[in-house]
């Protein structure tokens, strides 16, 4: 097995000796790495891509630490931005048809183009007529139509929103 030896100050791997077991290394570290010094080095069975050393423990940095400590803002997801050294998450509004995160102003926007809007409005009109026909049949046979009416109401709200978008 490979043991990874890290310099505590730089967190770079300075050696990778091959041993039979981690216990064997811990018993005689200088046998496998003559420069071993418990003050300057830490050993582990894990190779870290982005190590961090806190309170005597070495581990992989979290996504948040990579963003905040290493300024890897490319790891921010849509709906996230940094403010006061914290990652702020903004939920996308449910009414948006095609959600688009604007990184310049840290806000969600409608990302649909006119053709997509037209197609969706037509789909919603077809859905609405089918719901209307279903509602009539259910009324005829005495079934409760509240669920259908709720779906029809949501359909109207979606269509009105899409038709209000000014591109």
> What are the tens digits of pLDDT across the range 29-82?
999 999 999 999 999 999 999 999 999 999 999 999 999 999 999 999 999 999
pLDDT of residue 166: 79
Categorize the per-residue pLDDT at 115 as very low, low, confident or very high, splitting at 50, 70 and 90: very high
Of 95, 93, 97, 149, residue with least CA distance to 118: 97
Categorize the per-residue pLDDT at 135 as very low, low, confident or very high, splitting at 50, 70 and 90: very high
pLDDT of residue 133: 97
| Neighbour-count burial of 142, counting CB atoms closer than 10 A to its CB (0-12 exposed, 13-18 middle, 19+ buried) | exposed
Per DSSP, the residues of 21-82 read -HHHHHH-HHHH-TT--TTTEEEESS--SSEEEETTEEEEPPHHHHHHHH--GGGPPTTEEE
pLDDT of residue 48: 97
- What φ, ψ does residue 62 adopt, rounded to 5°? -75, 165
pLDDT of residue 69: 96
Query: Are the CB atoms for 115 and 98 separated by under 8 Å?
Result: no
- What the block records as the tokens of 2 is 């490979």
pTM: 0.73
- What the block records as the tokens of 167 is 């591109």
Answer yes or no: is pLDDT of 167 > 80: no
Buried b (16+ CB within 10 A) or exposed e, 79-101: ebbeeeeeeeeeeeeeeeeebeb
Query: Are the CB atoms for 13 and 2 separated by under 8 Å?
Result: no
């Amino acid at each position: 097995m490979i043991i990874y030896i890290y310099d505590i100050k730089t967190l770079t791997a300075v050696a990778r000796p091959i041993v039979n077991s981690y216990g064997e290394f811990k018993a005689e570290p200088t046998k496998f790495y003559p420069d071993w010094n418990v003050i300057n080095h830490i050993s582990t069975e894990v190779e870290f891509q982005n190590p961090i050393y806190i309170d005597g423990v070495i581990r992989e940095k979290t996504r948040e630490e990579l963003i905040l400590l290493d300024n890897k803002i490319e790891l921010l997801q849509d709906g996230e931005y940094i403010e006061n050294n914290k990652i702020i998450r903004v939920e996308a509004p449910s009414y948006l048809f095609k959600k688009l995160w604007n990184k310049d102003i840290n806000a969600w926007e409608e990302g649909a183009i006119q053709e997509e809007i037209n197609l969706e409005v037509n789909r919603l009109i077809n859905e609405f007529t089918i719901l209307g026909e279903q509602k009539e049949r259910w009324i005829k046979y005495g079934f409760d139509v509240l669920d259908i009416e709720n779906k029809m109401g949501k359909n109207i709200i979606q269509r009105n929103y899409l038709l209000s978008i000014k591109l």
